Chains A and B, each alone.
Chain A
Amino acid sequence: MIDLFKKVINSYVDSGWEISLAFKSESIRSLSYLNGKKENFNKSVSAGVMVSVGKNGKVFRQATPIIKGDYLKTLIDQGIKNFNILEPNFLSESSMSIHTGEVYDLSLEKPLLLKSFSDSLATSSSVNHKWIDFIRSSLSENLEERIIVNSQGGVFHDKKYFTDYYLDLMGSRDQLNQNRSNGGVVFQGAVDDSFLLNTLEKKESLTRELDLLLSASPCPKMVGDLLLPSDQMYIQIHESIGHPLELDRISGDERNYAGGSFVKKDDFGQLRYGPEIMNVVFAPSEKKQPVGYEFDDTGLKAADAFLIKDGILRAGIGGAESQKRLGVLGTSSTRNSSWNRPPIDRMGNINLCAGESRYEDMIKSIENGVLMKTNRSWSIDDQRDKFQFGCEIGYLIKDGEVKNVVRSPNYEGRTIPFWNSLKMVGDRNTVDDFGTSNCGKGEPNQAVRVGHQSPACLFSNISIFAGE
Chain B
Amino acid sequence: MSSINKSYIQQLFDSICVEKFPSNFYFYFSGERSRFYRVNKSKLRQGTFVDQSKLTIWQKNENDENTFSIELIGDLKNDVELVKNALGDEFTQDVKIATTDECNIEENKTVNVEFLSTLIDSEDIVGILSEGSLQRGVIQGGTNNLKWFDCHRADIDYSIFRGDKCVKEFYSEKLISNEKLKNSLSENILKLNILSGERIELEPGLYPAYFSPSAVNEILSMFNWQGIQGKAFAEKQSVFMDLYAGARKLNKRFNLRENFKLNLSPIFNQEGEVSEEIIEIVKDGTLINPLVNSVTERKYGLKSNKADQYESLRSAELLAGTEPEKDLISKVRNGLYISNLHYLNWSSKKSASITGMTRYCCYFIDEDGEKHPIKDMRFNMSLYDLFGSWLQEFSSESQIFSDSNTYEQRHLGGAKVPGMLSSINLSL
Contacts and interface: CB of A to CB of B under 8 A. Distances in A.
Interface stretch (B145-153, B182-190, B235-243, B416-424): B235-243
A388 B349 contact: no
Nearest to A91: B43
Interface stretch (B11-19, B157-165, B390-398): B157-165
A6 interface: no
Contact of B46 (A176, A259, A342): A342
A178 to B, nearest CB: 9
B74 A41 contact: no
Interface in B162-204: 166, 168
A27 to B, nearest CB: 6
Contact of A47 (B45, B97, B116, B236): B97
B64 A43 contact: no
A377 B346 contact: yes
Contact of A443 (B94, B157, B380): B157
A154 interface: no
Contacts of A253: 38, 40, 45, 126
Contacts of B342: 259, 381-382
Contacts of B406: 443-445
A467 B376 contact: no
Interface stretch (A78-86, A190-198, A282-290, A345-353): A78-86
Interface string B74-105: 10000000000010001110110111110101
B157 A256 contact: yes
A63 B49 contact: yes
A325 to B, nearest CB: 10
B407 A440 contact: yes
A126 interface: no
B233 to A, nearest CB: 11
A323 to B, nearest CB: 16
Most B CB within 10 A of own CB, among A89, A92, A253, A256:
A256
A176 B66 CA distance: 33
A177 interface: yes
B118 to A, nearest CB: 11
Most B CB within 10 A of own CB, among A4, A42, A259, A466:
A42
A71 B47 CA distance: 20
Contacts of B105: 66, 71, 74
A66 B103 contact: yes
B357 A172 contact: no
A259 B356 CA distance: 14
Contacts of B353: 467-468
Contact of A390 (B72, B117, B347): B347
A82 B110 contact: yes
Contacts of A75: 108
A40 interface: yes
B98 A67 contact: yes
A91 B41 contact: yes
Q: How large is the interface on A (under 10, 10 to 19, 20 to 34, 35 or more residues)?
A: 35 or more
B235 A338 contact: no
Interface residues of B, number: 93
B378 A255 contact: no
A386 B428 contact: yes
Given A44-B68, A253-B126, A447 B166 contact: no
B71 interface: yes
Nearest to A30: B67
Interface string A1-38: 10010000000000000000000010101000000011
B54 interface: yes
Contacts of A379: 343-345, 347, 355-357, 378
B128 A45 contact: no
Contacts of A65: 2, 51-53, 71-73
B359 interface: yes
B99 A256 contact: no
Contacts of A404: none
A172 B113 contact: no
A68 B52 contact: no
Contacts of A91: 40-41, 43-45
Nearest to B46: A342
B64 A89 contact: no
Interface in B330-363: 342-351, 353, 355-357, 359
Contacts of A39: 64-65
B383 to A, nearest CB: 13
Contacts of B67: 40-44
Given A40-B67, A63-B48, A133-B236, A444 B97 contact: no
Contacts of B1: 64
A133 B238 CA distance: 14
A381 B360 CA distance: 11
A412 B379 CA distance: 11
Given A256-B159, A259-B342, A48 B103 contact: no
Given A39-B64, A252-B40, A388-B347, A133 B355 contact: no
Nearest to A256: B127
Nearest to A39: B64
A342 B50 CA distance: 10
A239 to B, nearest CB: 9
B405 interface: yes
B51 A256 contact: no
A443 B36 contact: yes
Contacts of A37: 63-64
Most B CB within 10 A of own CB, among A25, A94, A390, A443:
A443
Contacts of A303: none
B130 interface: yes
Contacts of B111: 60, 82, 85-86
B64 A412 contact: no
A97 interface: no
B126 A177 contact: no
Contacts of A66: 2, 51, 73-74, 100, 103, 105
A134 B64 contact: no
A63 B108 CA distance: 12
B427 interface: yes
Given A39-B64, A113-B92, A115-B92, A48 B127 contact: no
A71 to B, nearest CB: 6
A83 B98 CA distance: 29
Contacts of A251: 40
Interface string A351-386: 000000000000000000000000001111111001
Contacts of B350: 176-177, 408, 468
B408 interface: yes
24 contacts: A29-B91, A45-B86, A61-B46, A62-B51, A65-B2, A65-B53, A66-B103, A78-B108, A85-B110, A86-B116, A89-B43, A91-B44, A91-B45, A170-B235, A177-B241, A253-B45, A377-B345, A379-B355, A382-B343, A382-B376, A386-B357, A414-B428, A444-B36, A467-B380
Given A40-B67, A65-B52, 13 more contacts: A43-B86, A43-B95, A44-B68, A45-B97, A62-B51, A63-B50, A68-B103, A133-B235, A170-B236, A256-B157, A337-B408, A381-B343, A445-B406
10 residue pairs, one from A and one from B, having the closest CB atoms: A44-B69, A468-B348, A467-B347, A444-B406, A91-B43, A115-B91, A45-B95, A443-B128, A256-B127, A467-B348
Interface of B: 1-2, 34, 36, 38, 40-41, 43-54, 56, 63-74, 86, 90-92, 94-95, 97-101, 103, 105, 107-108, 110-111, 113, 116-117, 124, 126-128, 130, 157-159, 161, 166, 168, 235-237, 241, 342-351, 353, 355-357, 359, 376-378, 380, 405-408, 410, 427-428
